[in-house]
Amino acid sequence: MTDITASGASALGNRAVKRMGYGAMQLAGPGVFGPPKDRGAAVAVLREAVARGVDHIDTSDFYGPHVTNQLIREALHPYPDGLVIVTKVGAVRGSDASWIPAFTPQDLTRAVHDNLRNLGVQALDVVNLRIIMGSDHGPSEGSIEESFTALAELQRQGLIRHLGVSNATSAQVAEARGIAKVVCVQNHYNLVHRDDDVLIDELTKQGIAYVPFFPLGGFTPVQSSVLSDVAGELGATPKQVALAWLLHRAPNILLIPGTSSVDHLHENLGAAALKLSDKVFARLSGVV
């Protein structure tokens, strides 16, 4: 059986969670819109993840919309002790599956209550403000003061335990930290997409969790001949090596690889037990 405890644990707010978690985005339909093709299979993946020791699940009520949160509730409620569910707010979905920024205090309040209802909880463990400002939906500078202040107020009301930011620049992380405590930053980062190298080092010193989304490349899977060569030498898959590289990169990195397949779930979780030497880590790091 896969032992995800091999990668150790790291702080997420006031909780220590195993560094290998699970991202629920792929449980929704194509384009993260609509219901899954096989609802029973989606429920089975969630239950298997928790059965294998996963205690950190990433989701959002705009996945579907509402689909993944409702699946999580169906599969896991009442939730086991120690399970941390992290969600995101800051967008809604159009009828054409578009992603529409929703940053006003009213938007965010509605989103928090939607998450509470669909997950079936009285308070959300962690809420990330998903920042969508640029035309390509990548990180873009701009103040988040009004939006993050609104979430801090909902935290004071007891509806949110911890706050984080997603798709954020270093300046936005600093701005958020000036408003309320930030326990995690969730940005695009993997073996070949390394824009956040400096930010990760800063967050490591500050004890703030860094949670890379698209750890395996997302819609453009991570590919490299070096990655494939190392995987062959270690008797692992390239995906496992790419995840193991992230775990080696910094102790505050928490992983949330997503899948709708139990077999792929087992493959991903197996990366927790894969140890890279410093020499192999440096070799992989040289692909960029």
Q: Where residue 117 sits, what CATH number does that domain have?
A: 3.20.20.100
Residue 5 lies in a domain: no
Nearest alpha-carbon partner for 26 in 214, 187, 186: 214
Residue 226 lies in a domain: yes
pLDDT of residue 1: 63
Residue 4 lies in a domain: no
Residue 2 lies in a domain: no
Residue 12 lies in a domain: no
pLDDT of residue 190: 97
Domain region containing 195: 19-285
Flag whether the pTM goes above 0.95. Answer: yes
Buried b (16+ CB within 10 A) or exposed e, 58-97: bbbbbbbbbbbbbbbbebbeebeeebbbbbbbbbbbeeee
Q: Give yes or no for a contact between 85 and 68, defined as CB atoms under 8 angstroms apart.
A: no
Residue 167 lies in a domain: yes
Nearest alpha-carbon partner for 57 in 222, 254, 274: 254
Q: Give yes or no for a contact between 208 and 235, defined as CB atoms under 8 angstroms apart.
A: no
Phi, psi (deg, nearest 5) at residue 5: -75, -15
Q: Which of 63, 79, 189, 210 is catalytic?
A: 63
**Intervals of the chain under pLDDT 70:** 1-2, 135
pLDDT of residue 87: 98
Give me the half-sphere count of Cα atoms (radius 13 Å) on the Cβ side of residue 115.
29
Q: Is 189 a catalytic residue?
A: no
Residue 36 lies in a domain: yes
Total domain count, the chain = 1
Residue 162 lies in a domain: yes
